[in-house]
Structure 1
Amino acid sequence: MGLVWAEETAACAASALDQLESAVSAASPVATPGSGLSWVRRRWPRLTDTVNLPPLDVDKQQVPSLVNPPSTYQVDLRALTCSCRQFHGSGIQALPGKKERLCRHLRQAYAERGNVSPLLRTVLLDEVHFNAADPWWLGEVEGVPTAIGWREGDPWVCVYTQSGGWRRGQAMFLRYSFHLDRAQWLEGHQPRQNAKAIRHLLSEWFHDPSLRG
């Protein structure tokens, strides 16, 4: 009797496990073009982060809060420290020189006082799209300074490059968004000078010939 009960219990358990696995399999997302589930089917590039932000030999300064303007935070670009909560919560754990160390106040001060390129300044001051944890590549595409950032699991890639315009004697840089699954620029808005070359570069990085267009 005990043996029969044990066999029936094992059979019920096996059946329940099969049902659970079937349910999980049915609920698991299947990536299809345009679905946005690109991380399921795409190999993400393992490129070396090329953003380097070493300490600067300048005096400490007060940077106003973006959320509460009357408040200010003390920024030290020599030690790359800030008195804000964001820095002490996460930035302090990163080594000096790494972009992960810079909170928004350090980025603002660095962009204003550091001898950085107009391209890097544009990237650092983008409060909406810049994320220190994302991989960033800075270089040239067809001789045009370009920055590309991406986040694993997100089909949108941020591209910063010259727009063709000039302001105060310096080249202007704009942000463009490229969707990997749809293989197209957001609303058709693409760089004037090197859009095709950027697509070829993304095609090589993500091992996807369809990105060439």
Structure 2
Amino acid sequence: MALCEKILLDEEVSVEELYELAEFLNANPEAGKHWPGNQFVEPLQEGWADGVIDSSELALMERLIVETRREWRRRVAPMEKTEAPAGADLTSGFAASTDSGELARINGPDVRLEVPSASYPGSNHRVDLKTLTCDCSDWKFRRSTLPEGHFSRCCEHILHAFEHLGVEDLPPMLQAFLENTKPPDPEKNWYLGDVGYGSILISDAPHGWSDVFARGKDGWGMFGCNFRQQRWKYDSEPDGAGAIIPLIKEKFPE
């Protein structure tokens, strides 16, 4: 999984990174016979069959790597499903007005959980979902100074805790955010916008790419937008793409 983590570090999966993954599997044939390596062999073979990896194949591989990472975490750090407290509402604290000028924030339920560590099996991290706090090093050194409720306070353990908390009827853009296994960049700020079919969640782009949680042809998910280059990652656009780029520029002026 270390190579998969490396691939997911930047904003966009590249052909060079997939070539490195293919080279690793070729050099270590046993890895390709067992999970998780066997998840990648056939898609990589199909991708290289014509000698060219196109944008749709890059998008497919990113989704596969993200889902494999999610399953890997479930296997190495299993966690029991936890019932949300009665009346738990993650939306009441949102800056939901598109003209309020406020950053979006999560109003977490009053729940504290012990979340198993994937890096150090047998140990746990203490997570507080109301304040979005964790005792892991990523949270302490990269996220702790962000305002309470800020989306980028969510480290992987906070996201993992939300995944195992049974909160029903979440807004689809929030559900998509919480299901994304890659923690948000702590330098990114977040805003709720509306492009005609409900609230979407957008970030600024301190390193070139804005994260957009919106509806697409396959349902709700995360899209990448480089508004400076006027392009969408892997040529995959969400519904309302034409209105989203101006919205990002408006809410996060450079």
Larger Rg: 1
Identical pairs, percent: 24
Q: Does the 8 Å contact 1:75/1:106 carry over to 2?
A: yes
Distance 2:198 2:106 in 1: 21
Q: Say how many residue pairs are matched.
A: 153
Q: Does 1:179 align with 2:211?
A: no
Match of 2:212 in 1: 159
Quote the offset at 1:90 in angstroms: 4.5
Which segments of 5 or more consecutive residues in structure 2 lack a partner in the other structure?
Answer: 1-99
Q: 2:182 aligns with which of 106, 111, 128?
A: 128
Quote the offset at 1:175 in angstroms: 1.8
Quote the offset at 1:161 in angstroms: 0.7
Which segments of 5 or more consecutive residues in structure 1 lack a partner in the other structure?
Answer: 1-46, 166-171, 209-213
Q: Does 1:82 align with 2:134?
A: yes
Counterpart AA for 1:155: G
Q: Does 1:103 align with 2:155?
A: yes
TM-score (norm 2): 0.49
Distance 1:162 1:65 in 2: 32
Counterpart AA for 1:86: D
Match of 1:63 in 2: 115
The SS at the match of 2:200 is strand
The SS at the match of 2:215 is strand
Deviations 1:178-199 (A, max 9, x none): 22332122232112x3122223
Match of 1:199 in 2: 245
Q: Does the 8 Å contact 1:163/1:174 carry over to 2?
A: yes
Match of 2:103 in 1: 50
The SS at the match of 1:130 is coil
Higher relative contact order (CA 8 A, sep 6+): 1
Instruction: Output the aligned Cα RMSD.
Output: 3.2
Q: Does the 8 Å contact 2:154/2:183 carry over to 1?
A: no
Q: Does the 8 Å contact 1:111/1:121 carry over to 2?
A: no
The SS at the match of 1:181 is coil
